[in-house]
Each structure stands twice: as structure tokens, then as C-alpha cells.
Amino acid sequence: MTSVLALDPGLRTGWALWHNGEFTCGISDPEDTWDVIDRLTNLLGEVEGSTVICEKFTITAATGKKSQLGLNWPLELTGVARMLAARNELEFVQQTPAQMKNYATRAKLEAYGFWRPGREDHHMDAAGHLLLWLRKNDLIPRRSL
């Protein structure tokens, strides 16, 4: 069975994991992020055909105006995730925020049992990337809403 880790990289990184047919997700603080990603990619390395998905972060003029604090963090984390995927012989995929948001609505996340309420939504963005990839690759059945 395929395992998949999806990441929404940032100062507070959202992650979602599909492993042995089970879904889990969370948000890691900056001081924990490297360890969380390392442990999860090692776990995926034990399952042949596993994948790491990372939200594609593009710096635009608007991004630069929002905040200089942590602007490089998503790019650095993407590089680390790519390196850890390669080290563990995992497929590495990037998806845009628009691809995820156009597909993974709250209703769909709820229908698949992926919705987890919280103060922040980083884990739900990661869950959306996970759901998009799982459906795009026919790894979970289509559900009616």
C-alpha cells in the first residue's frame, strides 16, 4: 500500500500523512519542523512507491510586501523535503495552492474524513494536497457529496 506525506511549508508547517490506509495531520512549529519531516520521510522510506507532496511556494511582489519574516522558510523547507525524499528513494511532487483549493473544498475534506478543525489551517492545506493527489492517482474511491 502506498504512503503519502503532504506538506504546506512555512514557519508553521502543515503536514498530512496517508499511511497504511490511515489519515493523520498536524502543524509543526519552526523548532520541530526538521525533525517531524525527517521522521515522516523515514517512515515513508519503509513503504515502496511512497510519495512526498510539497505545496509549491512562489515569491511574487505581493508575497514580498506581506512579510519579510520567514519569507525564505517555505523555500528552504521545500529543499529539505526534496532532499529527504531523494535520500529515502521517494517520489517528490509539487502542487500549486490553486490546484489544491480548486479541488479540495471543505465539503470534500469532510466527506473523506480528512477535516480537522483548528485555529490555523496549515494542516488542512496539507490535507487538501493529500486528497488531491490520492484522487488524481485513484488511490481512494470517489465519494459523492
The one-letter code for the residue type at 72 is: N
- The candidate with the shortest Cα–Cα distance to 74, out of 2, 9, 8, 144, is 9
The set of cell numbers assigned to 89 is: 528513494
Residue 63: the pLDDT is 66
Residue 29: the pLDDT is 83
76-101 pLDDT, tens digit per residue, is 889 989 999 999 899 999 999 999 99
Three-state DSSP state, 20:
coil
Distance CA 82, CA 93 (A): 9
Distances (CA, A) of 46 to 4, 10, 36, 51: 12, 26, 16, 12
CATH class label, 4-136: alpha beta
Q: Give the burial class of 132: count Cβ atoms within 10 A of its Cβ; 0-12 exposed, 13-18 middle, 19 or more buried.
A: buried
pLDDT < 50 positions in the chain: none
- Running DSSP on this structure, what letter comes out for residue 11? S
